[in-house]
A and B are shown apart, each in its own frame.
Chain A
Amino acid sequence: QVTLKESGPGMLQPSKTLSLTCSFSGFSLSTSGMVVSWIRQPSGKSLEWLAAIDWDGDKYYNPSLKSRLTVSKDTSNTQVFLKITSVDIADTATYYCARSPEYGGYTLFAYWGQGTLVTVSS
């Protein structure tokens, strides 16, 4: 059974760096065809894809946010991380990690975590 769970700081101040962790089970990111993405959603609004990393370590970023984003994975291939630099109030959102179907690329999201709410406030 594929499960994903996000964790983060809950709240942080503007200008800081946001660090998020996606811990998952039921698959290994070392398996060919696996991709994990980060997607966020401000309260009451739509979804915004942020970044993805695949089994081969290739990384994909939202061009609008690329300069602020860094996606990575751990050596055990059971966690994916996202860092967002210089956060501001507009980064307040629920952050999801999601996995694509096997060989589904980084653009289809079949399995989702429960999300973690991040509030940027001074």
Chain B
Amino acid sequence: DIVLTQSPTTLSVTPGETVSLSCRASHSIGTNLHWYQQKTNESPRLLIKYASQSISGIPSRFSASGSGTDFTLNINNVEFDDVSSYFCQQTQSWPTFGSGTKLEIK
């Protein structure tokens, strides 16, 4: 199995800040990595596909990068609406998800 390790577990930021969330894979997965946002009591929403490809309808404040084993989701100018858990998911083999990063606003 390919294990995805996300860090930090929880992140508390001030509105307007820029944040970076990390996802590390146990084996190289190229760019076969997607990011999802999940607000409390809602279904996940696809944010970024294949490591850095944007998704229609997602604010441009969300961007991502990485390849191989190290991936990053960046959120520019964090807003209150960004309070969510963020999960990475790999597609190199059968799909697995990271444990998530919970974003809180101070």
Chain A residues packing against B (C-beta within 8 Å): 37, 45-49, 60, 62-64, 96, 105-110, 112-115
Contacts and interface: CB of A to CB of B under 8 A. Distances in A.
A46 B45 contact: no
Contact of B97 (A46, A64, A105): A46
B54 interface: no
Interface of B: 1, 32, 34, 36, 43-46, 49, 55, 87, 89, 91, 94-100
Contacts of A114: 43
B94 A112 contact: no
B4 to A, nearest CB: 9
Given A46-B97, A49-B96, A110-B46, 19 more contacts: A45-B99, A46-B87, A46-B100, A47-B36, A48-B97, A49-B97, A60-B94, A96-B43, A105-B91, A107-B91, A108-B34, A108-B46, A108-B49, A109-B34, A110-B55, A112-B43, A112-B44, A112-B45, A115-B43
